[in-house]
Every structure is written in C-alpha cells, then in structure tokens.
A and B are shown apart, each in its own frame.
Chain A
C-alpha cells in the first residue's frame, strides 16, 4: 500500500512488478529526536526511506565538526550500503522526529538479485550515477537529446582518397563523380585534404596548370577528431578553427570526414548560426547582435541535455572569436605580431558559461613603440563592455597599465609576486596561470608562462602558500538539508568549484602542466602519475555537477528570478540530484585532505 514515490532512482530501475514488491513489504517506523537509527558496526537489517524528517550521518571515529558527514531528508534513502557491506560504517541519528519506511533486508537482497540494474546503482561511483541522471533527463527531455549524444562516427562520410600522383584534373573529376566537397590526398608525411575552394583558388587565382599534382595545393595540417568523440566536439573544433570539415582519425588512419552541413543537419541547433554571425560581423554593432544570442544558445543546449563540458567548450570558443574580432577591429594590424592579448580566470580556463567579467592582460614585445596604446586599450575595454562583458571588479583589464607590459616587465612582476606571497600576489599568480592567448602573437604568452613555471614550480614554500586558500571555505556538508530559505543555500562556488579548480591549478603548477582547463589539467595529472584515474574522473564529474547547478541558477537569474547565483537551495533539488551533490562534496573534501597533506597545510 502506502504513498511512497517510487518513480525516482533507484526504484525507477525496477519494473511495475518490482515496485509492487517494494510497496508491499514496506513498514513504517517513527524515530524520536536524537534517536540512533543505525549505529556504526551494527549489521544493516533494512533499507530506510525517509518519509518525513531529517537524519544525520555521523562518523563516530571523529569529533566535533568533522563528525557529520551526511544529511538526509524526505525522499532520501540510506542503509542500503550497510546491508551490502554486512555492517554499517557510520552512525545514523534522527535530527528531527522522523518517519521512515523500512524495506527489509531479505526483500532488498532479493530485488538486487532479480534486478541487476537496481543492484548496480548501489555499487556505482559518482560518475556512473551522473550518467544515470543524464540518461533520465534524456529520456524525459526533448528529441534533441539523442542528437546531442551522437558520436562523430555516426555522422561521418566515407573519405575519398587520391594517390600521391593524382593531378588537379583527376581531383575535380572525382569530386564531381562522387558529389562530395573534399578529398583526402596522400602526401610525403601523412594525409592532407583538398576542398572545392582550394581547387578553385588554385586554378583561377593562382593559375596552377591542370596537370599539376594535387598534393602541392593540399592542406596537410588537418583538424581531426576521434570516432568516439561527440559530434558536438567536432562542431566545437570547427568553430574554433574556422573550418567547415574535420577528419575523423582512428589510430592515425583517416576513417571519415564530418562535414559542417551534415553536423548541422544532425543538430539543427543554433550554435553554428551564432558562430557564423560572429564570423560575418564586420563592425561592432553586428558583433554585439551576435553576442546577444549566446544566453539563448546556452539555454537551448542545456535543455537538450548537452554536457556542461561541451557547452563550456563551445562558448569559450565563441567568446574567444568575439574578443579576437573586437581586437582586430580596434588594434592596428601593425601591432598584431608584436603583442599578445591574453584572457585569464575562467575565460582562460575555458570554463565560463555565461559571459563573465573582462579578465584580460597584454604582453608587448620589448621596445615596441606604440604611442596611442593607452587610448586604444581603453577603447578596447569599452567595446567589450558594449558587447556585454562587464568590467572586472579587481580592474584586471588591459585598460589598467598594471596588466600591460613588456616581457621583462612581466617577468619582474612574477618574481615580485612569488617573493611577496601575500594574498594579492598569490591571486595574481593564480590569474596569470590560467592565461590563454586570444589575439596577437601567442608565442609571447608561451614564453612568459615558461618563465612562470621555471620560477614557481620547484618552490615548495611558494606552493604551500599558493595551496592554502583551498582550505579557506569549509565544505558545506553539515548544512545539508536543514536550511529552508533560499538565501541560506549552499554556496557552490566557494564550497565546490573553487577548491577543485584551485587545487588542480596548484598541482598543475607543481608538475609543469601548461594546459589551462581544469579537466585537461586533470587528464594531464593522471598521465603524469600524480592522481589516480578514478579519483580524477570523480573530481571532474563533481566539477561538472557544480557547474551545471550553478549554470541553472544563472539562467534562472536571467529569467528574472530573485536570489544569488552561487547559492544552491538543497530543497529544490530532486533526491537523486541531492544525492549526487552530497557525494560530489565528499569528493571535494577528500581532495582537500590530500592537498593539505601534500602541501603541508595542517600547520599555520
């Protein structure tokens, strides 16, 4: 009997019959305030499903603040792990008078036997659970979700090869016969590509003879994806590199070509429309019109179930193009080779979703004479403001001379920051560590970062100071669930995102890892042997989860809802989301402990 919602995971993994078995064997029990429901070391006799009330999960081997490790409220489930492990690891205590449904051990184990998917649910790690959530959303979501999860392999065309000796005439004939837009050409060092446009330019503009070998006009620096990468990533690559096709490579052998038009018809989404508008914009006004479409684009993609990781990738590519274009409009071409515009902070990591503050700086070649520089930089910052990028509250912008300088000047700055080690200096270092070249000559930034790593990577004392802010905000596990007002929600930026991003940044600095995105840094740290793959995967998932929750809040703000964007109100989440958030925060806590051990943060 009884009213109990079995439509949420894990019960949604049962069929009608299984759910009937569950509801037929549930009992109801009252627990008094402070009553211990299940003690550490006790064998688990039932699975508890809270109907009403709140239950705290306590680690009895610790005391004080550290004791509480979890908090469960109405709709949550606990005790299953205790049954599977034979005994409970933690103590569960009623924080309020609580009414729980009890599913007896025998029935639970029988269900686990009969429904493997149900049993899996209790053994999986966070990454698996997230996938479960994604699948659940996809099934309830729009038709687009299927397209978003398509792999490159599902949308590629068979490639057409030409031999080394093929001539331009042969190439044109093949294009015509096969009705394709591009061909692959074998060359001295691997495969190249030739497109209709290449042929047209070669014949008409550059007056190549028709019997010239086609490989002499082919392009050999190919943009490639792997067949198992999401189609979405192929689209990101096309946007980023401004090309209309990417080659699908498997073990260095081209197995297919993804054409822009094919990918678009697969998506029929607005992402490329926006990027086309950005490309075609020839003044600031049209650029600004294109940039206003971005929030809608994000909303659309998220509703379709795209992973935040890919949305971030696409948007960071688009933002990059917008900033780059603005730069091209405003800065005289003479200076392009001798300067490097870098974006920093979340934009530098490629992790912002909606438009963030302007965090940017400028590196100049030594002895560059540029009299009107300051006026030009002010105009640049103003133009970005027009485009909807608010100014940086810390004034980290090219309009501030502090963030403009020659190479030597920058090196001196780094040295001073590293020596001073005060809060501002450390923040500046952190900001610079995430810098990515956006326009001008990227070699300038690469050289600067090299000297940054050289100066800091081996400096244990600096690293220890640098890592300390990770511990600044406590992980908000204790407040879970008991707060009712939106303004009291969990600060997901301080409690979740910051420790992960900064911790990973510190490790990347130590290990000389030059990529800037947190997820790429994690991959590099795994390759380096610094982190085990499973833990890195969990950290990445945790970060994605935080990002997604935060993005949802930001979108709601855009829709005019009140409140702070970084606060997540636990009561508004579904029980699975709550479960995920809880686990993600546990991972953050674990990570903080490792960092604290590695960089000796226990003292001081």
Chain B
C-alpha cells in the first residue's frame, strides 16, 4: 500500500523528467533478469558490489545482450564478503561508481518487467542507492522466481516448507548453474529458471 502510494508520487514527480519513460506501462515482449552481489547479503543494509542483468525474449535468454557491472569499492567491503564473492578490493578499483552503474542499469532495463531470485531484497538494495541519487525507486513490474518456485513446490509437495535455496532450486528445475560466483551467472541461471517455470505453468494450464 505504502509502496503503491510512493510509486504514484514518484511517477507524478518524474513524469516530465529524464526518467519519465520508466513509468510508462511496458508493451514489448522482453523482460530483464537481474542479480546483485552485495557486501552484506541478507542483512538489509548491504551495498551492491556487482550488478548484472540479462534480457529475456520469448523462450530465449539473450546472453549476447547483457550487462555486467562491478561497483567501485564501497564503504562496507569486508573480508567476509571478499571471501564470499571472490572479489577483492583491487578488482573493484576498476569498477564504476555506484551512481554510474545504476544509471547504466536504468538505461538497460528501461520499463521492462524485472525477474529475480528473492527480487524484493535485490530491489530494496538497488533502491537504497537509487533514491538518494535519482529521487525514485525502480517502478518496474517485478516477478520473484523464488516465489514462483515456492508456489510450485507447495503445489507438488505441500509438506515442504522453508525458504528454498538458489542452488537447490536450480537442481530441482534441472537448470545448469551458469558461471557461479558471478552476478551475471546468477542472472542467467535465474532467467533459465524463470523460463522453466513459465513453461511448466503454460503446460499445466493447457492440460487443465
């Protein structure tokens, strides 16, 4: 509710600005899978160190049109996150400043719907960077693959509960893990998982 109000306010404020078009409803057939790597994942106040996005169209993952950004060493880079992502401070020195990276992301994504694994968390992190710099949150339609997967699992195995893990879900869906430990790899894997789930959905609808 609060989010909807906020988006309406954002739209009104930016309708005539540079990013006004982001608020237009999308009419094409593409989507964008996004994945981030953060300094402190799951903690609710990490900063992105890598942002990746890849377009989907129909049954294709357009890996040839993808975005793979490394963000310059943020304040919150700790030894722990270095170990986790295999990214060291030096690797990130080459990267973009967060503001530039987000700008590239906005241009790449446009007003296409977004697909992601636990997309809420990723969006929250991106928005924490976006709002102070651009004055709005990502207004795009969002599809959470983790949510779709959980719904499918509940439908098939009602006794299971708990938050599914990314690797486990990929294995269950028979999707190969692409370039693990890179944000782009995660984005592609997520995109493939989404295609898989969407197909299953379509098949179920046809048969019922």
Contacts and interface: CB of A to CB of B under 8 A. Distances in A.
A25 B63 CA distance: 7
A437 to B, nearest CB: 60
Contacts of B64: 24-27, 104
Nearest to B62: A27
A205 interface: no
A426 interface: no
Contact of A28 (B60, B174, B199): B60
Contacts of B195: 30
Interface residues of A, number: 18
B62 A30 contact: no
B192 A27 contact: no
Please tell me the size bucket of the interface on B.
20 to 34
B105 to A, nearest CB: 16
B184 A28 contact: no
Contacts of B184: 1
A192 B15 CA distance: 101
Given A1-B188, A28-B192, A32-B199, A51 B176 contact: yes
B147 to A, nearest CB: 21
A3 interface: yes
Contacts of B61: 27-29
A285 B63 CA distance: 68
B63 A29 contact: no
B177 to A, nearest CB: 9
A2 to B, nearest CB: 5
Contacts of A97: 174
A2 B179 contact: yes
A2 B63 CA distance: 7
What does DSSP make chain B's interface, helix, strand, loop or mixed? Answer: mixed
A126 interface: no
Interface string B117-159: 0000000000000000000000000000000000000000000
Contacts of A102: 60
Interface in B39-72: 59-64, 66, 68
A405 to B, nearest CB: 66
A3 B60 contact: no
Contacts of A25: 64
Most-contacted residue by chain A among B63, B176, B178 (CB, 10 A): B63
A30 B63 contact: no
A52 B176 contact: yes
Interface string A146-164: 0000000000000000000
Contact of A1 (B63, B192, B196, B199): B63
A2 B60 contact: no
Most-contacted residue by chain A among B61, B68, B184, B196 (CB, 10 A): B61
A238 to B, nearest CB: 55
A27 B60 contact: yes
A101 B176 CA distance: 13
Contact of B66 (A1, A30, A51): A1
Contacts of A52: 176
A32 B188 CA distance: 18
B59 A3 contact: no
Contacts of A26: 63-64
A411 B69 CA distance: 84
A551 interface: no
Contact of A30 (B178, B185, B188, B199): B199
A73 to B, nearest CB: 14
A3 B62 contact: no
A501 interface: no
Nearest to A28: B61
A99 interface: yes
A201 B61 CA distance: 83
B110 to A, nearest CB: 19
13 contacts: A1-B63, A1-B184, A3-B178, A3-B179, A3-B185, A25-B64, A28-B60, A28-B188, A28-B191, A29-B61, A30-B199, A99-B192, A101-B63
Given A26-B63, A30-B192, 16 more contacts: A1-B63, A1-B66, A1-B179, A1-B184, A2-B63, A2-B179, A3-B179, A24-B64, A27-B60, A27-B62, A27-B64, A28-B60, A29-B59, A32-B199, A52-B176, A101-B63
* 3 smallest beta-carbon distances between A and B, as pairs: A28-B61, A25-B64, A29-B60
Interface of A: 1-3, 24-30, 32, 51-52, 97, 99, 101-102, 104
Interface of B: 59-64, 66, 68, 174, 176, 178-179, 184-185, 188, 191-192, 195-196, 199
